[in-house]
Chains A and B, each alone.
Chain A
């Protein structure tokens, strides 16, 4: 019989010492925000659990979630793909193509019924019978439903799969809808971000592998461990925000000194993500650190909450160039004008009725 090889087997086959293996497990624990007491559990899981089959589908998307995934450093991607999971179907990386590849998907669905993970990158067009994304002659929407039916759980990678992202921005020409709008009866974890941070993606997988279930989720179905805090609350520029020291132009002194980007439209105060904590590409930087405001890429509808470089959003139902202050000032102006007009009306009315009274008295 074929032996199911565990992560620990592979690690030792590579000549990695047990001490390093344990260190690695505690690192994962730290990323997942777990207490030290949980580390033995991770070690146990890595030593005993066989690899979980994963089917990774691509819908309307840009594949940058996959690209982000292969940037993972803890653990490195090769370890995940070869040792932690069994990435059996992924059109971006799979060696087979065409019907040979589709056969793999069908086989996993059958052989691992209820036991495989469905990872979805991108989302599904709902207009015109789904013709805006077709795979092997069928709509992606159908393929998604079919593959989800027997999955243990669904991971929605990135803002596309989680919330809709760019193709779902106004006017959403293809009727793109996120995964949770299509798949209603499966546990779903949303891992938003455009793209999500690599270590957040692999952290979710490590959690699944370690505990055999999805991580704890918030009300938008995001893992609390990575989406529990706003960027703003962990931001390295926060002291400048509190002090009121703001960049007003990318060419000014404040920019040169790394002040707060709030007035350049930074969406950090309204964005839940780990950018300021874990950081990007092994913690080298994150958007704000490199001088550009956060555009809120892990938030629902962030494309339509713009423009990106102003603090105040356009109010969608009023139109472009509108914002709360402009609308408010027009309303105040209208109230003042109405008041003035009414006052004039009152004076005229009083004069008239006075005149009437005088007439009567006469």
Chain B
């Protein structure tokens, strides 16, 4: 007999996500329903405000992918009013974006995802000497002595014996789905802690240019942070040196800790190839090398893949075209004027109307409306967005660096290309991308230094700072490839104020409820067909959902 299980709250994500899954007798997931259970109304709050402030409001959509909404927002306003930014501003924004990706992916892997694969309690029974041998065999990372691991193990033992397990309380330790030997578990726990300490270093690049992190500052028309290598109160050689050191350390950490861990851990789970899902992938592309208005200059290509077919990448993606991007609300707690079914964001509406069960409830009414997320579509197709989408699109387009990295990882794991379409593929793609973005950080640092050397320190163009110089009525689109995928902002500015603002977020694509035709989004599709060892312990659901790195505050906004 089919039974329904509920996982709410889903932990180790950003925001409030609920999964309801229907299992068959064989404990295989037959149907899954993904519900975002929080909504704040940013699109409504933005109305009537100064468009120059929009970045700050939208940035508060999320503090985990902090910065990406700000970036999409300034691009969107600049597109609307026709503003351009100096090359240094483009470079700094790219550097900040690459920094965000690197830090976010690292935190995701170790602190939000790893515990789906790593059994912390098992680490207590590891032989630290053996851990040291393994560590040294996979990486030159210096913190790998037997003493280091045995100190850690002692600390861990003391912690567990105290009886106060803190964040590790009541989890799924000992579940038969955990396949790592104790020694590798101990190694992973060590790196969990090291990564927690290290991630805060990477992000200091945001602090230099944006004054703080989370939520660094942005401005339309460029960046507000003046550069003068000889100046005393602005970005000077001291900060530039610090950035360089951070970039070097970051690349070392990714190369010597993240990637070896990823390959080592994945090696034990090669057989667990569930969670492939939709097979449709979309990326708006990002990292403009010249002009934001020229997608062909993006280092991350724009494109779409349908039905896992890597032989064709669709390039004709036009977010301003009403036929390309739409949002539906067939299963979302909203209403549209006159019962309209789908709207392009330029005509988008945000009118909340909760019709779910009375609180408190046991189950949602998944036949009707069941989420605070809308349901986005590209040319009527449900799409997966995120690192896997980007890596596959770049791979299919023959991007040298990505082809090299993907082939390297597949080769190390002795896995076929088809293995990419899975939970593990998604997790591997994130690691690959993290390595790539750490490299991009260096690329942009070098570009910045070259410009400064050539005497160009301009970071801001104030030609259109004054709203008096704007058109009375204009519309704009801004996008970025956020850590979790394709992010788009659409604005309508009237009389120098925001008339309408619509946001379609990566996690909206992935975590959305069904559309009018009953077709699932990426989360629901990926869960379908997954066998569960013990339906009481939702480890498998967590694995696949976590592989998307959910952000529900983003998704519903």
Contact = CB atoms under 8 A, between A and B. Distances in A.
User: Is there direct touching of A and B in the complex, by C-beta distance under 8 Å?
Assistant: yes
Interface of A: 2-5, 9-10, 13-15, 50-51, 53, 58, 60-68, 70-73, 76-78, 81-83, 85-104, 128-140, 142, 165-167, 169-174, 176, 194-195, 198, 236-237, 249-252, 255-258, 275, 280-282, 284-292, 295, 297, 303, 306-309, 320-321
Contact of B52 (A64, A291, A308): A308
Contacts of B359: 129-131, 134, 137-139, 142
A12 to B, nearest CB: 10
B268 interface: no
Contacts, number: 346
Interface in B161-187: 161-172
A243 to B, nearest CB: 13
B108 to A, nearest CB: 12
Nearest to B119: A95
A209 B463 CA distance: 53
Interface of B: 6-16, 18, 37-42, 44-45, 48-50, 52-53, 56-57, 60-64, 66, 107, 111, 115, 120, 151, 154-155, 158-159, 161-172, 193, 196-197, 199-200, 203-204, 206-215, 217, 219, 221-226, 228, 231-235, 242, 333, 352, 354, 356, 358-362, 372, 457-462, 465, 497, 537-538, 542, 553
B233 A257 contact: yes
Contacts of B64: 62-64, 67
27 contacts: A62-B62, A62-B66, A70-B200, A81-B166, A86-B166, A91-B13, A95-B120, A96-B11, A97-B542, A104-B169, A132-B41, A135-B8, A137-B360, A165-B60, A166-B57, A172-B45, A176-B40, A195-B215, A237-B233, A249-B460, A250-B221, A250-B226, A258-B226, A258-B233, A281-B203, A282-B204, A290-B224
Contacts of B163: 2, 4
B63 A88 contact: no
Contacts of A173: 40-41, 44-45, 352
B12 A97 contact: yes
A114 B399 CA distance: 59
Which of B13, B53, B60, B459 has the most chain A CB atoms closer than 10 A to its own CB?
B60
Nearest to B350: A173
Nearest to A76: B197
B196 A77 contact: yes
B50 A309 contact: yes
Contacts of B537: 100
A96 B172 contact: yes
Contacts of B107: 70
Contacts of B8: 98, 135-137
B236 to A, nearest CB: 10
Contacts of A83: 159
Given A92-B11, A94-B12, 5 more contacts: A5-B159, A167-B45, A173-B41, A280-B211, A281-B207
Interchain residue pairs A-B with the least CB separation, the first 9: A64-B63, A258-B233, A173-B41, A287-B211, A95-B171, A290-B211, A2-B163, A292-B217, A280-B212
A98 B10 contact: yes
A78 B40 CA distance: 31
Contact of A258 (B6, B232, B360): B232
B452 to A, nearest CB: 13
A257 B234 contact: yes
A289 to B, nearest CB: 6
Which of A53, A85, A86, A284 has the most chain B CB atoms closer than 10 A to its own CB?
A284
Nearest to A240: B233
Which of A97, A136, A303 has the most chain B CB atoms closer than 10 A to its own CB?
A97
Contacts of B62: 62-64
Contacts of B356: 131
B63 A13 contact: no
Given A78-B196, A249-B462, A71 B159 contact: no
A66 B196 contact: no
Which of A93, A291, A295 has the most chain B CB atoms closer than 10 A to its own CB?
A291
A129 B42 CA distance: 20
A309 B53 contact: yes
